Structures are given as structure tokens and as C-alpha cells.
Amino acid sequence: MSERLLETVEVETGARPTASVIWLHGVGADGHQFEPLVGQLTRAASPPLRFVLPHAPIRRITLCNHQPMRGWYDLRNVDRQVGQDEEAIRASQAAISALLLRERERGIPSDRIVLGGFSQGASMALYVGPRFPETLAAVVALSGYRLIASTLQTERHEANRQTPFFLGHGTADPVVRLKEGELARDLLRRAGYAVEWHVYPAGHEVPAEEVAAVADFLANIL
């Protein structure tokens, strides 16, 4: 998967973008999942942005009756910390890193690239961001959780030690429980990362208040 770039949906908010946002979708969705929110994530005073919305590979997902669907890795246990699909997680890491490097080759410095995602995509963003060897502008993770947490200290890269993180979660999320988001937050904070933590009276979704907060965050960062 890392030898061939993932297919993507791309939306540019103006001519000659000066920054990029790579956004990773949740399991069973695709790159179009967050396409309708691009306009809401862009403030009037923001610079021209390129949103890159990749499609994850199609794979069979154990917890979804082994049905084939797009996913960054398999889900094998309702306890997401048990039986993590490390092989696919690392393959997806390589594929996502390739997209980050392509943006640099297209003229966007790495410190003008935001990596973000929702649910499974948020978890991948939290996994890839600290381990990426070039400084990113920020990492945004909505309704995410920890992946291979035990390797963070040994695998994280100095380049992103100062990178800001935005974590958001619904207090009534029945899919990825709030506690999972809190554990991801605590893992990052213990490692010394600057984490903005936001909670909303919502389920496994991205409420309007969260979209507005992310838009403000992106405007401040970029």
C-alpha cells in the first residue's frame, strides 16, 4: 500500500494553496465523508487551503460481520485496546506519511500541513503525527483513541514534540467511549504534548460546535 499513493478527494478553497489539511475518514466511510464540511472549516480570513481526503483501502472488518469496507485497519474486539491490527496500522501509517510527503513535494512546507481525522481516522492521526519525522502544523483528532500506545515513547520523533493537538469527543459517544478519548489525551500529555481537549454533548458524530472550534483552531494555526 505504501508503494502506491492512496486515492484522494481534493478540495481547494482558493488559488495556489499555502497550507494543506489531510483528513482521514472513519471505518466504513470514504474520503467524501468530510467533504461537505470543508466550507465550514474555513474562515473568511484563512489562507487558501488544500483539503486532501484519502480513501482507506477496502478490507474485511471483524466487528462488522467481516464485511468488506474501507478501513485503515481491522477492528477485532469491542475493547479497542485488545487485538489491535498492528500490521495494517503500520501499513496505513506508511500510506498516510506518503501523502504528507507529497504535499511537501507540491510546495507546501510540512509545518503548514495539518493531519486530522474522525474515529478510526482520528486514531490514525494520533498514531502517525508524533511518529512523523518532519514538523507538522497540528494534529486534529475527533472521537479517536490510542493505537499501539506502548510504542509512543520509543517511536515518537523529536520533530513533532512541540506540535499542537486538538482532541474532541462526544460525552455520550456509544461507539468510542469518552474514556477512550480521555486516555488518548492523557497519553499525549504525559509525553509532553500540548493538547487542547474539548467535549460536547453529542454521540459518535461531529456537532456544529465542534466544527466551529476546529475552524477556529485551524485559523489560529495556519
The residues annotated as belonging to the active site are: 119, 173, 204
DSSP 134-153: S--SEEEEES---SSGGGHH
HSE-CB at 77 with a 13 A cutoff on CA atoms is 7
Rounded to the nearest angstrom, the gap between the alpha carbon of residue 181 and the centroid of all alpha carbons in its chain is 13
Give just the sign of the alpha carbon dihedral 17, 5, 25, 167.
Answer: negative
Q: Find the distance separating the first CA and the last CA of the chain, reported in whole Å.
A: 30
Is 189 strand, coil or helix?
helix
Q: Is the dihedral of CA 65, 119, 175, 204 positive or negative?
A: negative
Question: In the Cβ-directed half-sphere of 201, how many Cα atoms lie within 13 Å?
Answer: 0
Q: Which of 87, 210, 95, 99 is nearest to 144 (CA)?
A: 210
> How many alpha carbons fall within 13 Å on the CB side of residue 147?
30
